[in-house]
Amino acid sequence: MTADRDEPFAALETRIGHVFRSRALLAEALTHKSALAARQPRRASNERLEFLGDRVLGLIVARRLFDSFPDAEENSLAPRLNALVNRAACARAARRVDLGAAIVIAPSEEADGGRDKEAILGDACEALIAALYLEQGLEAAENFVMRAWADEFDTVDGVRKDAKTALQEWAAAQKRNLSYELIERIGPEHAPRFVVEARIERAEPARGEGGSKRAAEQAAAAAFIIATGIDG
């Protein structure tokens, strides 16, 4: 690895408070698939690590919610989990540590604003969590998540069980229209997953996922509240 390439990695390590023993693992976590053909076709992209990181993140957040809401039922915890464990939340966490500056991407993708694209940032953030987990265990991954998601946790602690009602009340008070749109239906027929987007005038939409449209709408409402920091 060249000194020029190593500098953004070292700067990122300073920002996240962890120096990797394996720079190869860190490089894999930060390598977008667009860079492979253009640079090193034999290097792995971060897609496999992203898969693992998503599960590690889910465990960490689920445990945090389980401990923080000892009296909450599953139908109250699930929307909070789905609001915190999704691509948009990962992208926001990535921006907090300026992860985009260290991502390895093709020049064409960089010219197209790839370092700030939600999908690229979200995937790289999950891959970084996986790399931390593989190198030093769950504690290292958890330390990163607790720091990068701190603002999200502070907000979700105040999200009421019925996030849809809270968001509807806020939108009405602001005299803004609120709507929900089904973005996609994924998974097998016996266990479908729904992705829904909450949309409010003059605001960035927020997405949520759930095993039913209703659950996905609740998750989207919670995600909107968390992302915008509104007082639900």
Q: How many CB atoms lie within 10 A of CB 139?
A: 10
Tokens representing 213? 């449209």
CB 131 within 8 A of CB 49: yes
Nearest Cα to Cα of residue 141 among 208, 33, 204, 53: 53
Name the average pLDDT for the chain.
87
Model pTM score: 0.74
* Span 22-38, average pLDDT: 89
pLDDT score, position 35:
87
Task: Give the CA radius of gyration of the chain.
Answer: 18
Give the confidence band of 60 by pLDDT, cuts at 50, 70, 90: very high
> Is-catalytic flag, 201?
no
Give the pLDDT of residue 5: 56
Q: Rounded to whole angstroms, how far apart are CA atoms 126 and 81?
A: 15
**Domains, the chain, with CATH or none:** 3-156 (1.10.1520.10), 163-228 (3.30.160.20)
Strand bridging mode 206-210 / 178-186:
unpaired
DSSP secondary structure letters along 28-45: HHTB-THHHHHT-TTS--
Core vs surface per residue 188-224: b (16+ CB within 10 A) or e? eeeeebbbbbbbbeebebbbbbbeeeebbbbbbbbbb
Among 123, 126, 197, 209, the one annotated catalytic: 126
Residue ranges of the alpha helices (H) in 69-184? 74-84, 87-96, 107-111, 118-136, 138-148, 150-156, 163-173
Active site residue 54: yes
Q: How confident is the model at residue 40 (pLDDT cuts 50, 70, 90)?
A: low
The CA distance from 98 to 111, in Å, is 18
What pLDDT is stored for residue 100 in this prediction?
Answer: 95
Catalytic position from the list 28, 54, 109, 197: 54
Q: What is the DSSP secondary-structure string of 163-214?
A: HHHHHHHHHHHTT--EEEEEEEEES-TTS-EEEEEEEETTS--EEEEESSHH
The confidence score (pLDDT) of residue 231 equals: 57
* 3 pLDDT above the threshold of 50: no
Nearest by Cα to 27 from 143, 135, 136: 135
pLDDT, tens digit, for every residue of 96-118?
A: 999 999 999 999 999 999 899 99
In this prediction, residue 158 carries a pLDDT of 64
Give the Cα separation of 208 and 210 in Å (integer): 7
